Structure 1
């Protein structure tokens, strides 16, 4: 598996990346960041110019104060010349106004850049995860995906909204202050330079200790979200199996782990922040002593000493802000690693480079030497061959794990075969234009998912531009019209979240209507009648006959009553077809299907 896959799917649980893996992850994150910043280059350059000028204006203050004390006051006292002092005061006011205006402009510019990047990133994550294959979504839990779109993007938002401001302004401020310090008094500048040594050691210590802790924080946060989402999503199973107490303990352990990690982060800052203050105060004391002695000796002007003290105090103030930036940075960097891991994932069923158009299909489906394995050591379909003529209805029967659903997923191109090919009208599905493939082949599964919206909107999913008459016709064709009309708002009834206002059987009928409206040439029903009770199943049998007419159909069902409408029955065991014939012929025989049919008949007695 690629580094993206390792970090994206399994990496949530890891903190022990090798140096090579860590380097690749950093490079991947930087590539993503670069691609996000590229469209904003002009605005970024303008922002840099604005912040440089505004920082210079802010740093000019103490130097102007020193010049006013050392030059302006003597001129005023000795010759009553107020012009130097007046010019200095005017310059001080202008610098303050310019600095304030430019800071406001800088804040607006950075906000626009931040929102543009977040919009781009949020859209990329949604569109990319939507395009990824079932293999990814079956291994990468929904909680993790939600974590990418929520807490991880929030961390990046915090960095862009405030952290970058702290870094850029703080770093520039410290550089400009250091330059101004040397210009005002070289000795004080050297003292300040000497204070950088312990500051560098403290910062490096903080960086090494915090990097691992912040990654652990992201992992702990993601685990919390995963646990919460999965519990709420599976709340019916939780209630049914009385899992509340176990969930309480599991969630409590995760909360405790999250608290412990954050406690260690706080302890780290409890050492780093006071350390910064101590270094700053010691440096200020040394500058005061050294400067005071020289003022007493007459080798340093009092204004220069005051400016040096102001600059020393100002130099260490941004260091604390930059420490908070590092907090945001580590959190955002860990989040960016996870998001870039998802964006680096390649679709398991990529779109063809040179797609073949198939405007009208007859519906002939063939499996030629198909072999498929979810994992290399577990082959599901070994060297599978099958011919399905256009317009034939096939029923797939067999025990659980025989490979029936895998066959259906390959036919719908949810997966690609490990070797061999699946064709529609002699065109490899891997070469077929995605639009034509989705129009030609439709799969209805046991989980009849309904989206928030009206009944009509859910049926129209199969044909977004369908008229109301077409929607009603589709519902009538599969026997769903009567129950829809009995709903409070008829076809305009909001089905609520995931179809909570209709029963499981009614949801399945709506999914049949959706498929009928889509009018595919190949229809796959994967346990599509499993949610129906016996009366509902009998009601839908006639609708199924209408639904399957004049198209190639594959029915996967354990209920043999559904199989009766098939032209041909395939009995599968361990990824192979062990029986092939009409329902009547197989029932009359002594094979596996006859045994299944006899057992089913006995269950009805």
Structure 2
């Protein structure tokens, strides 16, 4: 979820009211120093650019700071001229003129300073934007490359949203900090030091008066910020619950309508929305009240400065222009303090994001390919499992001493109850997971000696869960084969019995599928994945209940087409409906990760074992259902 960020200068800023992130709960890094040290290493190639940013930021800020002092000189000269005229009139003497030449010179000089300050500010922002974006670009590239090298078990063991959050949200958080907060840190420090120096150079007494308001400002700010963090936590918690409800009702919209749940859903939404309103109102009020209170405290100091400054002017110990300049400095005094307090929270959040990204970058990668990785130019499709031992965890071994010998062109069916290890066997074959012992060979070559890409291109997969991407139907079918011609795509579609329904769509093969391909039916999605497998023309097929989402008539057609596709190819078929694999050359019966029976359909029925029970139970269940009807 993206959030709109604004500050009083019009640039993007973190949310949370006028005080930005100051009142919000802050996620902290576990190892702040170590993460900061590693993060700053990414700036090593940009030392010169950062030096330019530092110098230009200092010059830009210094020129802005000295502005009020120089403006005060013009004010003093104008005031002295007016007083001189007044005295001359009172004494009936010729009135001296106001030195507008001096005032004009001062104003031109001041204008030049402000122009230079703007130029240096522009250079600072331009260079920092380049450094920030290049740094984030490097981080994004490293994360993208890392994700391609991580083993499948990393993605299986973590929610996809959590991985995406690291790659997107945390990266965006770092990008915002680099773009704004680093330059803001420099300008805030220089402004604070410069303002204090200028105030003491004008009057130590007035400077002490302003500084005495600082502890009161800090007490108020920290007290309210501490309380507002509790409110912000409640707000985030309520927002998460409300978002979950909305997503649930949206994705299950048809079910909600089917069961007439609209009124209850709206009532529940209203209740959750009310809780979010209460939490949000309290959080925003607590955060928003900080700035008015700080202005109030600042105005108290402003009153004392004005009164004491006026007295000092009448005593002749300070010029009126200096009082004017001092008042401006007093108004600027709290701003950098607030920005620095805000930066303390921002840097904590940023380091937490950086730490999460570094954790991803430090994850254990796939075992590297051997130096002289092989490529099987023309695979025959012979597959062998030799004493294979595997477990997702070393303490929990799933397969122990598995041996399978598959000859080229054979159809191998894998059956068994849910969780028996059928899909695991296929994942091992494609080297998505590494073995704990033994080896798997393709055409006599250990798969660990093959290039992963070349090994996986040997296989064509049609899974029960269809996967299609946002794009045209043509592009989806051609996904597994580069430079496929239009004729080849159409032939593959015809073989998968999908050409007819594709041509009935308004745009035919140019029809755009949405992100979840919900603008076509589940069965049609399955047909497209089958067409993709036809076009890829692999040496070895892996079919995971590929016809489970199509009607009976289409299933029969696809089974005929599959029979043609599997001719001369080794095929691994994961089947739940045992009637579809009676003609298999070899049936592997799995349970608890182990092959407990293997043989042909006839042989296994004659054994009257586990397979026979599975097979007979399907037909017994069907007969019982028919009797009940």
TM-score by length of 2: 0.78
Give the one of 63, 69, 72 matched to 1:57: 63
User: 1:539: how far off?
Assistant: 0.6
- Structure 1 unmatched ranges of 5 or more: 1-20
SS in 2 for 1:394: strand
Residues 1:322 and 1:213: Cα distance change in structure 2 (over 3 Å): farther
* Structure 1 CA distance for aligned equivalents of residues 250 and 42 of structure 2: 34
User: 1:97: how far off?
Assistant: 2.4
* Structure 2 CA distance for aligned equivalents of residues 230 and 224 of structure 1: 10
Deviations, residues 417-467 of structure 1 (Å, cap 9, x unaligned): 455544434555455322212212333210122222222211111112212
User: 1:56: how far off?
Assistant: 1.4
Residues 1:292 and 1:481: Cα distance change in structure 2 (over 3 Å): closer
* Structure 1 CA distance for aligned equivalents of residues 275 and 30 of structure 2: 28
* Mapping of residues 340-419 of structure 1, within 5 Å: 340=357, 343-344=360-361, 346=363, 349=366, 351-352=368-369, 354=371, 356-360=373-377, 361-374=379-392, 379-419=397-437
Do 1:159 and 1:325's aligned partners in 2 also have CA atoms closer than 8 Å? no
Do 2:78 and 2:98's aligned partners in 1 also have CA atoms closer than 8 Å? no
Residues 1:151 and 1:37: Cα distance change in structure 2 (over 3 Å): same
Q: Could you tell me which residue of structure 2 aligns to residue 282 of structure 1?
A: 300
- The number of residue pairs the alignment matches comes to 584
Q: Could you tell me which residue of structure 2 aligns to residue 509 of structure 1?
A: 527
* Mapping of residues 123-138 of structure 1, within 5 Å: 129=147, 132-138=150-156
Q: For structure 1, which segment, 452-461 or 569-578, has the greater mean C-alpha deviation from structure 2 after superposition?
A: 452-461
* Mapping of residues 26-65 of structure 1, within 5 Å: 26=32, 30=36, 33-34=39-40, 42-65=48-71
* Structure 2 CA distance for aligned equivalents of residues 372 and 275 of structure 1: 65
SS in 1 for 2:414: strand
Pairwise CA RMSD: 4.1
* Mapping of residues 159-308 of structure 1, within 5 Å: 159=177, 166-202=184-220, 232=250, 259=277, 262-270=280-288, 272-308=290-326
* Structure 2 CA distance for aligned equivalents of residues 445 and 548 of structure 1: 16
* Structure 2 CA distance for aligned equivalents of residues 122 and 259 of structure 1: 36
Does 1:24 find its partner at 2:30? yes
Deviations, residues 7-47 of structure 1 (Å, cap 9, x unaligned): xxxxxxxxxxxxxx955354576467546656665544433
Q: For structure 1, which segment, 409-418 or 177-186, has the greater mean C-alpha deviation from structure 2 after superposition?
A: 409-418
User: 1:183: how far off?
Assistant: 2.3
Does 1:447 find its partner at 2:465? yes
* Structure 1 CA distance for aligned equivalents of residues 393 and 182 of structure 2: 44
* Structure 1 CA distance for aligned equivalents of residues 395 and 246 of structure 2: 33
Deviations, residues 142-171 of structure 1 (Å, cap 9, x unaligned): 555565677666655655565556544333
Residues 1:145 and 1:229: Cα distance change in structure 2 (over 3 Å): farther
Residues 1:202 and 1:90: Cα distance change in structure 2 (over 3 Å): same
* Structure 1 CA distance for aligned equivalents of residues 370 and 249 of structure 2: 41
Deviations, residues 234-256 of structure 1 (Å, cap 9, x unaligned): 65666677776787677667656
Deviations, residues 196-216 of structure 1 (Å, cap 9, x unaligned): 444455555567666777677
Residues 1:231 and 1:363: Cα distance change in structure 2 (over 3 Å): farther
Q: For structure 1, which segment, 97-106 or 109-118, has the greater mean C-alpha deviation from structure 2 after superposition?
A: 109-118
Residues 1:85 and 1:507: Cα distance change in structure 2 (over 3 Å): closer
TM-score by length of 1: 0.80
* Structure 1 CA distance for aligned equivalents of residues 389 and 51 of structure 2: 55
SS in 2 for 1:572: strand
Give the one of 469, 490, 499 matched to 2:517: 499
- Structure 2 unmatched ranges of 5 or more: 1-26, 85-95
Does 1:456 find its partner at 2:443? no
Does 1:93 find its partner at 2:111? yes
Q: Could you tell me which residue of structure 1 aligns to residue 442 of structure 2?
A: 424
User: 1:194: how far off?
Assistant: 4.1
* Structure 2 CA distance for aligned equivalents of residues 252 and 331 of structure 1: 32
* Structure 2 CA distance for aligned equivalents of residues 256 and 417 of structure 1: 54
Q: Could you tell me which residue of structure 2 aligns to residue 4 of structure 1?
A: none
* Higher-Rg member (1/2): 2
Q: Could you tell me which residue of structure 2 aligns to residue 533 of structure 1?
A: 551
Deviations, residues 562-587 of structure 1 (Å, cap 9, x unaligned): 21232100111121111111223223
SS in 2 for 1:47: helix
* Structure 2 CA distance for aligned equivalents of residues 555 and 86 of structure 1: 90
* Structure 2 CA distance for aligned equivalents of residues 149 and 250 of structure 1: 34
* Structure 2 CA distance for aligned equivalents of residues 352 and 84 of structure 1: 78
SS in 2 for 1:90: helix
Does 1:575 find its partner at 2:581? no
* Structure 2 CA distance for aligned equivalents of residues 59 and 513 of structure 1: 70
SS in 1 for 2:114: helix
* Structure 2 CA distance for aligned equivalents of residues 67 and 546 of structure 1: 95
Do 2:228 and 2:283's aligned partners in 1 also have CA atoms closer than 8 Å? yes
Q: Could you tell me which residue of structure 1 aligns to residue 327 of structure 2?
A: 309
Give the one of 556, 563, 583 matched to 1:545: 563
* Structure 1 CA distance for aligned equivalents of residues 274 and 35 of structure 2: 30
Do 1:372 and 1:417's aligned partners in 2 also have CA atoms closer than 8 Å? yes
Residues 1:464 and 1:109: Cα distance change in structure 2 (over 3 Å): same
* Structure 2 CA distance for aligned equivalents of residues 337 and 222 of structure 1: 23
Do 1:54 and 1:102's aligned partners in 2 also have CA atoms closer than 8 Å? yes
